[in-house]
């Protein structure tokens, strides 16, 4: 008799974005002529940059010749990509991250979920609320979250509210915490922390031996100078923080799949007896055991993002989406709606009008205006009364959607 991991039975019926996809599919079946504009799931629409495509073609050609064919590569990533990441994303900012602290992977979603493999089940986990669902769900799958309560919270998780009432700036937990997830620029709210605000968290983590899991997947969208692109810009962060980065929303790799995680050798975990253990060593063991590495051709494509032409082309795409974000943000604000984010992020977080629930506003937008958003409550209890829109659509669809949103009666 094969016993199951019963923690899975405690999860809600479906993953948030799968539920949204099902609702949209059902609507399209019953309304086949509707022109549905999707501003819900954070998937990109612009094609890969020409420099990336060129690198892909070249790498594919290499695979056709015995002299340049590649089989299994290093699980941590090829040196050509790892060293390029170190030089451009860290040394260029004056940060001392070593090549053997970089682990190339197929996505930050995977890594933020899998990082729990090397962390004990007795850890007390804190999350900002609302939050990217993967952080919560994977801890629930592992057994760290406890039981799902009637109010939508998990019994063992520590929730740190981020709402308009505190200007989306999380307060330090008052309870004992071992691990905290931070995502900045934030998904879903699109808000950020300044260097001084993030330093408060780093200092607290050092003092209390707390591990920070820092999701920086949207750092390329930062436009303001006092917002850090990496948590390692904060003194001492290399002692307490693991950072996750992705090419998905930066360079359009949502379907191409490439990311990386930084685990400094100075970040320590502890045995129950208090002995220090390098998390870099543990993650390397996990990574090499459960992962065979990102394909060679994909890593060559990622490397091309850092060439001079690649940087310019990728920035142009990021600027395109930021312009969409501005159009959405200003269009909603002009309607009298309360809007947040969209300055350092491709996400716009909007307060639902007339006291609507998140799902109520979602249904209204889908059925009446044929626009797909993401219900804020799907990101956690503090997301109730909000809806997330993304800037990843085309410019034409973004303008059309804003035009439709003008029909909302406040």
Q: Is the pLDDT of residue 41 over 90?
A: no
> What pLDDT does residue 42 have?
82
Which two tokens mark 306?
Answer: 């850092």
The contacts of residue 200 (CB under 8 Å, 6+ apart) are: 172
* Closest to 300 (Cα-Cα) out of 47, 11, 63: 63
Which two tokens mark 31?
Answer: 């309304």
> What pLDDT does residue 410 have?
66
- Residue whose pair of structure tokens reads 């949207």 in the numeric block: 218
CA dihedral 380, 352, 198, 148 (to 10 degrees): -10
Is the Cβ–Cβ distance between 145 and 373 less than 8 Å?
A: no
- Three-state secondary structure readout of the chain: CCCCCHHHHHCCCCCHHHHHHHHHHHHHHHCCCCCCEECCCCCCCCCCCHHHHHHHHHHHHHCCCCCCCCCCCCCCCCHHHHHHHHHHHHHHHCCCCCHHHEEEECCHHHHHHHHHHHCCCCCCEEEEECCCHHHHHHHHHHCCCCCECCCCCECCCEEEECCHHHCCCCCCCCCCCCEEEEECCCCCCCCCCCHHHHHHHHHHHHHHCCEEEEECCCHHHCCCCCCCCCHHHCCCHHHCEEEEEECHHHHCCCCCCCEEEECCCCCEEECCCCCEEEHHHHHHHHHHHHCCCCCHHHHHHHHHCCCHHHHHHHHHHHHHHHHHHHHHHHHHHHCCCCEEECCCCCEEEEECHHHCCHHHHHHHHHHHHCEECEEHHHHCHHHCCEEEEECCCCHHHHHHHHHHHCCCCC
Q: Is the pLDDT of residue 164 over 70?
A: yes
Q: 10 Å Cβ neighbour count for 244?
A: 24
User: pLDDT band at residue 62, thresholds of 50, 70 and 90?
Assistant: very high
Mean pLDDT of 54-74: 98
Q: Is the pLDDT of residue 19 over 90?
A: no
Mean pLDDT of 59-78: 98
Distance CA 365, CA 62 (A): 48
Distance CA 113, CA 181 (A): 11
Average pLDDT taken over every residue of the chain = 96
User: Of 24-33, 119-128, 200-209, 223-232, which range is least confident?
Assistant: 24-33
Partnered with residue 154 across adjacent β-strands are 148
pLDDT in tens, 138-152: 999 999 999 999 999
Mean pLDDT of 7-20: 85
Cis peptide, bond prior to residue 130, ω within 30 of zero: yes
pLDDT in tens, 263-321: 999 999 999 999 999 999 999 999 999 999 999 999 999 999 999 999 999 999 999 99
Which two tokens mark 376?
Answer: 């804020």
Q: 10 Å Cβ neighbour count for 92?
A: 10
Torsion over CA: 384, 386, 388, 389 (sign): positive
Which two tokens mark 347?
Answer: 């996400």
Is the Cβ–Cβ distance between 43 and 254 less than 8 Å?
A: yes
Percent of the chain with pLDDT over 90: 95
Length of the chain counted residue by residue: 410
């Amino acid at each position: 008799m094969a016993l199951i991991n019963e923690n899975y039975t405690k999860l809600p019926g479906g993953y948030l974005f799968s539920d949204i996809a099902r609702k949209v599919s059902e609507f399209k079946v019953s309304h086949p002529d509707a022109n549905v504009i999707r501003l819900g799931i954070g998937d990109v629409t612009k094609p890969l940059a020409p420099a990336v495509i060129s690198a892909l073609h070249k790498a594919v050609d290499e695979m056709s010749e015995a002299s340049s064919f590649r089989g299994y590569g290093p699980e941590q990533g090829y040196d050509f990509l790892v060293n390029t990441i170190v030089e451009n994303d860290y040394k260029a900012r004056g940060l001392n991250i070593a090549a053997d602290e970089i682990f190339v992977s197929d996505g930050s979603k995977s890594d933020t979920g899998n990082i729990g493999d090397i962390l004990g089940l007795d850890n007390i986990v804190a999350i900002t609320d609302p939050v990217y669902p993967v952080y919560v769900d994977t801890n629930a799958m592992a057994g760290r979250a406890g039981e799902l309560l009637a109010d939508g919270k998990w019994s063992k998780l520590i929730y740190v509210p981020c709402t308009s009432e505190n200007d989306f700036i999380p307060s330090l937990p008052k309870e004992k915490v071992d691990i905290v997830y931070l995502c900045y620029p934030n998904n879903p709210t699109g808000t950020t922390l300044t260097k001084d605000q993030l330093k408060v968290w780093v200092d607290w983590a050092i003092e209390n031996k707390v591990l920070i899991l820092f999701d920086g997947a949207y750092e390329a969208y930062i436009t303001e100078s006092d917002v850090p692109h990496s948590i390692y810009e904060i003194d001492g962060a290399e002692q307490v923080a693991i950072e996750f980065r992705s090419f998905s929303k930066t360079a359009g790799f949502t379907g191409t799949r490439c990311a990386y995680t930084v685990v400094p050798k100075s970040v320590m975990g502890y045995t129950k007896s208090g002995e220090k253990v390098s998390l870099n060593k543990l993650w390397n063991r996990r990574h090499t055991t459960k992962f065979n590495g990102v394909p060679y051709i994909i890593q060559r494509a990622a490397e091309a993002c850092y060439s001079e032409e690649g940087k310019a082309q990728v920035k142009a795409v990021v600027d395109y989406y930021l312009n969409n974000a501005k159009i959405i943000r200003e269009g909603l604000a002009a309607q009298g709606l309360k809007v947040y984010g969209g300055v350092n992020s491709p996400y716009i977080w909007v307060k639902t009008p007339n006291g609507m629930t998140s799902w109520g506003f979602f249904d209204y937008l889908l059925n009446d205006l044929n626009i797909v958003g993401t219900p804020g409550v799907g990101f956690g209890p503090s997301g109730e009364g909000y809806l997330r829109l993304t800037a990843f659509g085309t410019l034409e669809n973004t303008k059309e959607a804003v035009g439709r949103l003008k029909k909302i009666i406040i």
